[in-house]
Chains A and B, each alone.
Chain A
Amino acid sequence: GNSVTQMEGPVTLSEEAFLTINCTYTATGYPSLFWYVQYPGEGLQLLLKATKADDKGSNKGFEATYRKETTSFHLEKGSVQVSDSAVYFCALGGSGNTGKLIFGQGTTLQVKP
């Protein structure tokens, strides 16, 4: 079945460091891919998305490219801030005629000043 695997955390970085959070997926068909962010005590916020191979999603300095050949959707940011500290979820969706999203286990990012 479809699945998503994320790199284990927590990831601890200093402010202005480069961020990469790895995400790989297994899926049939042509799913859409998403990154969601969850701040402490809150629900999930959509960060970015890509709907087909080679698409690049971007938002708030974060980027991720849909790589069908490597079944990956890694999240990157060139310079992280303390306010980026949160849990990041990679998700897969769109197969069939349901809106079901399949999430990875989440990666906690802590950015220190």
Chain B
Amino acid sequence: DAGVTQSPTHLIKTRGQHVTLRCSPISGHKSVSWYQQVLGQGPQFIFQYYEKEERGRGNFPDRFSARQFPNYSSELNVNALLLGDSALYLCASSHQIRQGGPYEQYFGPGTRLTVT
């Protein structure tokens, strides 16, 4: 079975531009989460979507938005890019969510975004 896929692999943008990152979850998985990983640090949670509804949001500005489609794929959008948005953006999928976990999530290879 295919794992989590993300596109594009690498992206270079200029400050002030907009970017859209895409993610396809593992077949049968209904939950998609997005994380930002700055070089040398652990991933930081941005959003989680389950059954097309936002279920969690991290401490990121409103420039960051996301959505989930009927086929459970997802897009992460970032407006008005800043130099500090340069990072590896990771998508993770899981079969479901429920209180207590275990929230086993499977990560894609990531999209490397460079803002110049």
Tell me, yes or no, whether B102 is within 8 Å of chain A by CB. yes
Query: Which residues of the other chain, A, contact B102 by a CB distance below 8 angstroms?
Result: 32, 49, 51, 93-94
Number of A-B contacts (CB under 8 A): 82
Closest B residue to A102 by CB, please name it: B45
B42, B100, B105: which contacts A46 (Cβ < 8 A)?
Answer: B105
Q: Assess the B109–A99 pair: CB atoms within 8 A.
A: no
Query: Which residues of the other chain, A, contact B104 by a CB distance below 8 angstroms?
Result: 34, 46, 49
Query: Which residues of the other chain, B, contact A101 by a CB distance below 8 angstroms?
Result: 33, 35, 43, 45, 92, 103, 105
Tell me, yes or no, whether A79 is within 8 Å of chain B by CB. no
User: Within the assembled complex, what's the spacing in Å between the Cα atoms of A42 and B105?
Assistant: 16
A32, A42, A44, A94: which contacts B43 (Cβ < 8 A)?
Answer: A44
Q: Assess the B107–A43 pair: CB atoms within 8 A.
A: yes
User: Within the assembled complex, what's the spacing in Å between the Cα atoms of A98 and B31?
Assistant: 10
Q: Assess the B90–A44 pair: CB atoms within 8 A.
A: yes
Closest B residue to A36 by CB, please name it: B107
CB interface residues, A 36-71, toward B, < 8 Å: 36, 42-46, 49, 51
Instruction: Give the interface centre of A31, A45, A93, A106 by most chain B CB atoms within 10 Å.
Output: A93
Q: Assess the B43–A103 pair: CB atoms within 8 A.
A: yes
A89, A94, A103: which contacts B101 (Cβ < 8 A)?
Answer: A94
Q: Assess the A97–B99 pair: CB atoms within 8 A.
A: yes
CB interface residues, B 1-55, toward A, < 8 Å: 4, 31, 33, 35, 40-45, 48, 50, 55
Q: Assess the B55–A97 pair: CB atoms within 8 A.
A: yes
Q: Assess the B41–A105 pair: CB atoms within 8 A.
A: yes
Q: Assess the B48–A98 pair: CB atoms within 8 A.
A: yes
| Chain A contact residues, CB within 8 Å of chain B | 4, 30-32, 34, 36, 42-46, 49, 51, 89, 91, 93-94, 96-106
Extra contacts besides A93-B101, A97-B98 (12): CB < 8 Å: A36-B107, A44-B92, A89-B43, A97-B97, A97-B99, A98-B55, A99-B94, A100-B33, A100-B56, A101-B92, A106-B40, A106-B42
| Chain B contact residues, CB within 8 Å of chain A | 4, 31, 33, 35, 40-45, 48, 50, 55-56, 58, 90, 92, 94, 97-110
